[in-house]
Each structure stands twice: as C-alpha cells, then as structure tokens.
Amino acid sequence: MKKLSHFDAAGSARMVDVSAKTPTKREARAQAFVRIRPEALEQLPHNPKGNPLEIARIAGIAAAKKSSELIPLCHPLMLSHADVDVTVENKGVRIIASATTTAQTGVEMEALTAAAVAALTVYDMTKALDKSIEITDIYLLEKTGGKSGAYRRK
C-alpha cells in the first residue's frame, strides 16, 4: 500500500505540503441519495418551508466553498466552479455535486461536502413530512487531474 503523507515522524496528523506540486485543472463529481417515502415526495411542491430542492442546491454550492473550514486537514481552494443537481426519483432525491479548480490538490472533498450538505438540507426541509428519511450512498463518482490521474466509479 502507498505510504500517505498525512502523518509526521511522530505519528501526528498534519496538513500535506502541496507547495512543490504543479497546479493542474481538477474536477470531481460526487453523489448522495435521500430516501423519502413516496407520500412525502408527492408533497415536496407544497412544502411549507419552501422549495427544498432549490435550497439544497444553493446549500451544497455554499458548502463546497467552505470544505476546508469543515474538514480539518483539507486545503482551502479557490473554486472556479461548483454546482449541484437535485433530482426527484421514485424512492427519493438524488444529488450530484461537482467542483472544478486549477490547483495543486484535488477537489474531491469539495464535491463530497457539497453532496452531503445538500442531502442534509433536503432532510432538514422535509423532516416534517417524513420522519423516516435516510441519507445514503454518499460517494465520489469521478475525478480528473493531478498526479494520480482520472478515476471513475464502476
């Protein structure tokens, strides 16, 4: 297994020094799924708190920009783009988040944070309609750029 550089010689966690790395264009997409009962899904357009899908989209974009504030050793990045698509499906809401930058480190955490926070926002705005909501399947779909190259979930 490849040795990671997230620990110093004493075993303490540390932020990885990426200063010697060449900036490259990096993109990542991640997803989350919010499982909601069909009866509650039908009520989404009439949600008393407003449109949970649009609020979740905006929350996810805002979260992508704050990933380094939420995840202790995550590098702060200047994002050139972040977006969140929120789609109602039979059993819930699928969230696809994307992030792009040109930097010395990747944007996987930004895409994952956007997907997770968008899912939490859907939960927050619909919990009055369904107490059994589940947030599932948060994972990286794909990433490009950097030394390790491209990755696409199979």
Residue-wise DSSP of 66-130: THHHHSTTPPP---SEEEEEEEEETTEEEEEEEEEEEESS--HHHHHHHHHHHHHHHHHHHTTT-
CA angle, 97 as apex, 144 and 137 as ends, to 5°?
A: 100
Q: Would you please indicate which residues are annotated as catalytic (active-site) residues?
A: 124
Do you know the residue count of the chain?
Answer: 154
| Integer Cα distance of 43 and 46 in angstroms | 5
| Integer Cα distance of 79 and 92 in angstroms | 29
